[in-house]
Structure 1
């Protein structure tokens, strides 16, 4: 009799029956009546659940695109269809040309449960379309316009040169010095706080947050996204590593938001002349002014915290990772390093270090920076967008409430594209990795080759997003990367480490798996180009 079963067994049996019924219902509901885009073979009920990639997803989808000779790949899991787009043209057409319609975010369960509880819900990156998002975007877009970020040029030059001084003192801790560089710039921009030493506590706060974002899996690719109700079940039943990881590491994101903001509120700044221009200082000053006069507040304290926190983590994460990718490729390609240094010597000379006025004349340095962006996109599948109204693209209806590209597309009605069926509740990714490694656009795309741009190949697109969800801090981030690359090449030489038997050690090219992909640690040797170059940076 059932009443004699242990309660745990009864619960397990109930869940098993419910799961089978759900799978059967989802399978029946998702049966196509028109051709679907090609993809790997599927299984009854499970669909592609056992082959959908959990690691290196962008690379797997790019390979399937070649295997099935199609820019569009389809997979299905637990009733939900996923379509992966591997063309830059689609992302441009939808998100850039029709940006007003594709400016929303979907309500993905992993983002809602994990990242929102981690503290991301109040940041511009994940805010849904609405008055709050428009307010954040308008202010941040103006603050970080290509013109306004020039006020930070002196800061970026100063921090780049301070970073070189630290690397020359302790070359074995070069990665820590680069973390300090990234944190120092964005912390002064966002909170007006200085970070002078490589062991500053704020660096560890940023490190923990970067680990959380770099290892937490890809949004919309977990069991909780497919079956939302499992979010309420304990970890012992739902063995989903991405949800468990997010719950375990949400403290890191919370700390990144809370600690510097609390210091800004209390006035506990390590002040310098940049403090008055910082994002948090400006908004808090306005908030306190209105509060003292009983005026209605436009920005809540949570809004201010979210805006400043978004700048902090996004800038610290991308700047550091991009600089590490640069060093990795200089170690692997000494001939590129030498050519860049020849250009610097010819344009800048040997009696000073480069500054932003040199950028137009340093074409090869620019090509190196663009090749860093292309060779390894930091967010291979990006963050989902969602449409506000029905839209038709090349015969495909994209209904209201659907999400697309840099990123993902949630389709809530049956649609057609190029003769293919894109069925109900389809999620579509625009694969930034595939775009950057498209052999139709780039010759030998897996090679790191800055010369490709001199031959007429286009600069990469989409690294900072698309349309009205494009990264508002892209000009600041790009300036930080450029000045650091130019300054490092002026002063330093990057070489392979040599083993005890005198053989060079090849660096490992490995990346983390998450919403962002960070390069893993590798060994190298960093030394000054010359005594004169070393003296130049130390005299600054």
Structure 2
């Protein structure tokens, strides 16, 4: 991915910073791009009281995405929603979901035994959709044709399209929201009118269904049920609506963010493995030494699989799912090393630049998990790409612990029983693979997955079939 180019003006702030900070004036909006982890930590972590806001987006309002925890303005609503989210996705809480994670990852392994010309994005997505829908709402899905999944896909598509730079000008020219629908600038309003019902349904529909099922379910209460029980204390007060909104925002965000970023990262993993057979050989050797072909990996094995963890770290670094992060907004005027940062500036932590900095990662364009290893263990002297990829300060991804554990289990499980190979083209030869992303919006994903999963052996296939 090329570095971000200025639209109007380009100013290097200080020669001593090299390319660590870039200041742009984009249609009268100051935009600051941070290419350095240290500068991002100095500003977004150490001064999080100044850098925790999010930009005002008319497009988010028109499409209905302004309830999303990642996009909420900094304030009481964000704090209330995040508090509910953190309660069920903090590092100590996530292990309670391991039975559901194991079940759905192994269900994917069985689906992957079915004949296929190439890996299906939706089949991969089902891993994460099924996990999130179950632990959050108590909803079981058996295919990607489920109503909830269809709605989520439509809403997520609207989000991705609305974030394509230049697609809609309404955030730069707010007066366009008051123009007639036949006016050329009204495309954003038309797009929002189509998209908003799906986006609000992502937040509301599974929540309401879970509410209705509370009395009839005999299963262990899921997150929504626990939240509904918790907010009953406000039933007879004016605060009930507020806390219900917090609960819907928290659970809806878990549903969307947990699926999209995990799908994109797993897609990059599969593509990287198909392009690097030597990495698969090393991974299988580690897995065979730890497990043999007697069982599939589970969560208790992950700490003893440093090479699998190194693969996970390298996938995050090589192709971050959100390469430019989610923009922040400066709440009050600030100063950094003698330079003025105006109030209202947009601050972008450029995860791509941070994870491809040759000072931290030799040959950054190469896929090389060994860069994170030393003497058979994770080398703590090498910068962990998760620091850049999961965000900074108070707006760091609150679901990162859950995502890490799910992805590590997914990667280890697939590598333990499958060879990941390029698909065979119509000419009978392996398809040439590349690691380019077609996306021009906020998310990064492969253009296609021309890869196939082949059981490593008859013993591996038997292990998959017996995993139910």
Could you tell me how far apart the structure 2 residues matched to 1:353 and 1:185 are?
A: 18
> Out of 93, 105, 109, which is 1:148 matched to?
93
In the alignment, what sits opposite 2:279? 336
Shift of 1:85: 2.4
In the alignment, what sits opposite 1:483? 409
> Out of 14, 18, 21, which is 1:72 matched to?
21
Could you tell me how far apart the structure 2 residues matched to 1:539 and 1:163 are?
A: 13
In the alignment, what sits opposite 1:279? 223
Aligned in 2, Cα 1:444/1:179: closer, same or farther, shift over 3 Å? Answer: same
> Out of 27, 35, 56, which is 1:86 matched to?
35
2:46 is the counterpart of 1:97: yes
Could you tell me how far apart the structure 2 residues matched to 1:375 and 1:270 are?
A: 47
Matches within 5 A, 1:141-540: 141-172=86-117, 174-218=120-164, 223-234=169-180, 237-239=183-185, 245-267=191-213, 273-274=219-220, 276=221, 278-288=222-232, 290-291=234-235, 297=240, 299-398=242-341, 401-402=343-344, 410=345, 427-454=346-373, 457-460=382-385, 461-509=387-435, 510-540=437-467
| Number of aligned residues | 453
Could you tell me how far apart the structure 2 residues matched to 1:207 and 1:321 are?
A: 14
Q: Rg larger in 1 or in 2? A: 1
For residues 165-223 of structure 1, what are the alpha-carbon distances to aligned partners after superposition, in whole Å with 9 as ceiling and x for unaligned? 11113545642221111101111222121123343333222222332223332579953
Aligned in 2, Cα 1:481/1:240: closer, same or farther, shift over 3 Å? Answer: farther
Shift of 1:379: 1.5
Aligned in 2, Cα 1:271/1:328: closer, same or farther, shift over 3 Å? Answer: farther
Gaps (5+ residues) in structure 1? 1-38, 53-60, 403-409, 411-426
Aligned in 2, Cα 1:180/1:271: closer, same or farther, shift over 3 Å? Answer: farther
Could you tell me how far apart the structure 2 residues matched to 1:189 and 1:117 are?
A: 30
Could you tell me how far apart the structure 2 residues matched to 1:114 and 1:397 are?
A: 29
Conserved 8 A contact 1:379-1:516? yes
Aligned in 2, Cα 1:243/1:490: closer, same or farther, shift over 3 Å? Answer: farther
2:63 is the counterpart of 1:118: yes
Could you tell me how far apart the structure 2 residues matched to 1:240 and 1:375 are?
A: 38
Q: Secondary structure at the match of 1:350?
A: coil
Conserved 8 A contact 1:213-1:516? no
Q: Secondary structure at the match of 2:373?
A: coil
Could you tell me how far apart the structure 1 residues matched to 2:366 and 2:188 are?
A: 32
Could you tell me how far apart the structure 2 residues matched to 1:227 and 1:135 are?
A: 31
Q: Give the aligned CA root-mean-square deviation in angstroms.
A: 3.1
Could you tell me how far apart the structure 2 residues matched to 1:496 and 1:179 are?
A: 20
Conserved 8 A contact 1:209-1:252? yes
Conserved 8 A contact 2:84-2:247? no
Could you tell me how far apart the structure 1 residues matched to 2:6 and 2:51 are?
A: 32
Conserved 8 A contact 1:122-1:303? no
TM-score normalized by the length of structure 2: 0.87
Gaps (5+ residues) in structure 2? none
Conserved 8 A contact 2:137-2:223? yes
Could you tell me how far apart the structure 2 residues matched to 1:476 and 1:119 are?
A: 26
In the alignment, what sits opposite 1:136? 81
Conserved 8 A contact 1:287-1:299? no
Pick which of 168-177 and 365-374 moved more. Answer: 168-177
